Amino acid sequence: MSLKKYNTKRNFKETPEPSGKPKKAGSKLIFTVQRHKASHLHYDLRLEMDGVLKSWAVPKGPSLNPQDKRLAMMVEDHPYSYRDFAGIIPEGNYGAGIVEVWDHGTLSDIDNSDTDTAERKLKAGLRAGNLKFTLHGKKLKGEFALVKLKARESSDSNQNSWLLIKHRDKYAVDEPYNSEEKTPKSSPINKWLAQHGKAAGAKVPAKKPIAKKAIPSAKKEAPIAIGVKKKE
Ligand code: MN
């Protein structure tokens, strides 16, 4: 597994994200879920395998309700050091926006095997397009599956589509699960959105509003300022 794709997409002189090196084997496997406000708000699920983080972008976020099948688009491997990355990715860079850690913890196979066995089983599941795993996080607990959707013939767009599904276990819930409601109002992204006067899911505001040229005949009436006050 390679971080080439990750590294070529990013300019490390501009983005605060870590440059990619795989970690050395050892200790328990980890997972992280980052909440990422880019052009759209989404969640990134990352599972450690072979010293890198296998990654899926989950538009609706994970769910603890087994009836939910959450679309998860597989993206490029991220370096192990990305697990606790949080911060602002500047405009003009890949994934520009803001990232926060939403949940994290350890990862295992569904039998909670020793690290080597668990990793071997996870990799086999990944190859088979049917990955079963256990998360020991603060919010996400218990067994989950990632199931790869079959790519439609003559279409590449579905090649990376998976479904994230909670298994029925003692951590599963029956009521609707909305990951946004599990996010504190005071989270860095929510604060940032509030500062920009936009609700979650809104677009990143343009850097500067387009100034309209003054119309000479409109001299008497001062134009009413519409829009959001920006703090710099
Ligand atoms: Mn992302």
Q: Which residues pair with 150 in a beta bridge?
A: none
**Measured in angstroms, how far is the CA atom of residue 34 from the centroid of ligand 1?**
8
Structure tokens belonging to residue 178: 């909305």
Q: Dihedrals φ, ψ of 220, to 5°?
A: -65, -45
C-alpha closest to that of 34 among 85, 95, 107, 69: 85
| CB atoms near residue 122 (< 10 Å) | 24
The reported pLDDT for the residue numbered 26 is: 66
- pTM for this predicted structure: 0.81
6 sits in which H/E element: helix 4-9
| d(C-alpha 110, C-alpha 112), whole Å | 5
**Measured in angstroms, how far is the CA atom of residue 171 from the centroid of ligand 1?**
26
**Measured in angstroms, how far is the CA atom of residue 42 from the centroid of ligand 1?**
7
The reported pLDDT for the residue numbered 207 is: 43
**Measured in angstroms, how far is the CA atom of residue 56 from the centroid of ligand 1?**
8
Which residues does the chain have with pLDDT short of 70? 1, 24-26, 152-158, 197-232
| d(C-alpha 124, C-alpha 104), whole Å | 23
**Measured in angstroms, how far is the CA atom of residue 225 from the centroid of ligand 1?**
34
The reported pLDDT for the residue numbered 183 is: 95
The reported pLDDT for the residue numbered 224 is: 43
The reported pLDDT for the residue numbered 64 is: 98
**Measured in angstroms, how far is the CA atom of residue 128 from the centroid of ligand 1?**
24
**Measured in angstroms, how far is the CA atom of residue 72 from the centroid of ligand 1?**
11
Residues 6 or more apart in contact with residue 61 via CB below 8 angstroms: 35, 42, 43, 70, 102, 178, 179, 180
**Measured in angstroms, how far is the CA atom of residue 73 from the centroid of ligand 1?**
10
| d(C-alpha 188, C-alpha 15), whole Å | 18
**Measured in angstroms, how far is the CA atom of residue 71 from the centroid of ligand 1?**
14
The reported pLDDT for the residue numbered 195 is: 84
